[in-house]
Amino acid sequence: MHFHGYELSLVISNEEIQKRVAEIAKNLSEKFKDEVPILIGILNGSFIFMSDLIRALKIDCEMDFIKLSSYTGDQSIGTIRLLKDISADITGRHVVIVEDIIDSGLTIKFIKDRMKEAGPESLTIITLLLKPDVANLDFPIDIVGFEIAPEFVVGYGLDYDQKMRHLSAIYRIEKE
Catalytic residues: 103
CA distance 176 to 154: 14
Residues 5-34 that bind ligand IMP (CB under 6 A): none
Task: List the one residue from 24, 90, 103, 126 that touches ligand IMP (CB under 6 A).
Answer: 103
Helix axes 47-56 and 14-31, enclosed angle (nearest 10):
60
Among ligand IMP, Mg ion, none, what does residue 103 contact (CB within 5–8 Å per kind)?
Answer: ligand IMP
CA distance 167 to 3: 10
Among Mg ion, ligand IMP, none, what does residue 144 contact (CB within 5–8 Å per kind)?
Answer: none
From 149, 135, 5, 70, select the one nearest 125 (Cα to Cα): 135
Burial degree of 34 (CB within 10 A; 0-12, 13-18, 19+): exposed
The yes or no reply on residue 102 touching ligand IMP (CB under 6 A) is: yes
Secondary element (H or E) of residue 98:
strand 94-102
Rounded-to-10 torsion of CA 56, 61, 64, 70: -50
Rounded-to-10 torsion of CA 59, 62, 63, 64: -160
Secondary element (H or E) of residue 93:
none
- Tell me the window of 37-45, 123-131, 144-152, 164-172 that interacts with Mg ion (CB under 5 A): 37-45
Of all residues in the shown chain, the one whose CB is closest to Mg ion is 45
The yes or no reply on residue 52 touching ligand IMP (CB under 6 A) is: no
Minimum CB–partner distance for residue 34 and Mg ion (Å): 35
Task: List the one residue from 41, 45, 120, 155 that touches ligand IMP (CB under 6 A).
Answer: 45
- Tell me the window of 38-46, 73-81, 128-136, 146-154 that interacts with Mg ion (CB under 5 A): 38-46
The yes or no reply on residue 47 touching ligand IMP (CB under 6 A) is: no
Amino acid found at 123 = L
Among ligand IMP, Mg ion, none, what does residue 52 contact (CB within 5–8 Å per kind)?
Answer: none
Q: Residue 123 or residue 167: which is nearer to ligand IMP going by CB?
A: 167
Residues that bind ligand IMP (CB under 6 A): 42, 45, 70-71, 76, 99-108, 152-154, 158-159
